[in-house]
Amino acid sequence: MSGRKQFDIGAALDQAMRVFWQRGYADASLDALGSATGLGRGSLYGAFGNKDALFGKCLDRYASIYGAQYEQALAAHPGDPVRAVGAFFDVVLRRIADPSVPVGCLIAQSATQSLTLKEENSAQVRGLLDMQRQRIRAALADSSADSQTLDELATFVVAVNQSLAVLSRVGASDAELRSVTRLACTTVADTLARAVSEDVTQS
């Protein structure tokens, strides 16, 4: 049996993720990360590599936790893309309202600080946003609207999601955030209906 102190890698990663989520990459000092995880710098480096590598692992951790929830919500209403988008926003609002996690979104927080990130981490953030867009685009594909409209709506929904994270960090109420998602769903419904109608007219 080694004399080294054992620790839970997953739990330490969760605590580091919370620091990045709350403070952002630039303000997440090694001292703050060490305090949150209970690890000294040597142990942090030994377990996760440098700060950039740790941040990358935290992004992956965040994406695995919430990405699965988003995917499940978007797949819950086959044939009804508007309800699927509404279910996606419900997951987002539940995360924002959860008092056990920091406000906002780690990916949105990281995107706003992209200039301070190493290229590898910046590319990772872009990739996670694109993955979110692809999930939403797949849910919208149940509509018979044209591809360009579906692409534009998927980007729109991602943009609304990121705005919810920003608004929540400056104290927007649940009612205010829900009004945003309600209008977003109305926009999706109206845009899909208009696109389908135009396609029928042109046929």
63 and 107 in contact (C-beta within 8 Å)? yes
pLDDT-derived band at 7, boundaries 50, 70, 90: low
What is the sign, positive or negative, of the torsion defined by CA atoms of 178, 184, 187, 193? negative
- Two structure tokens written together for 195: 């696109």
CA pair distance 38, 44, nearest whole angstrom: 9
- Max intra-chain CA distance, the chain: 76
- Domains contained in the chain, CATH given: 59-202 (1.10.357.10)
Specify the pLDDT at position 3. Answer: 41
pTM, two decimal places: 0.90
Q: What is the mean pLDDT of residues 101-125?
A: 95
Share of the chain above pLDDT 70, in %: 94
**Residue 73 contacts residue 90 (beta carbons within 8 Å):** yes
Tell me the pLDDT tens digit for each residue of 26-73.
999 999 999 999 998 888 888 898 999 999 999 999 999 999 999 999
Q: 164: exposed, middle or buried (C-beta count within 10 Å: 0-12, 13-18, 19+)?
A: buried
pLDDT score at 127? 97
Do 8 and 97 form a contact (C-beta atoms < 8 A)?
no
Q: Please give the mean pLDDT across all residues of the chain.
A: 92
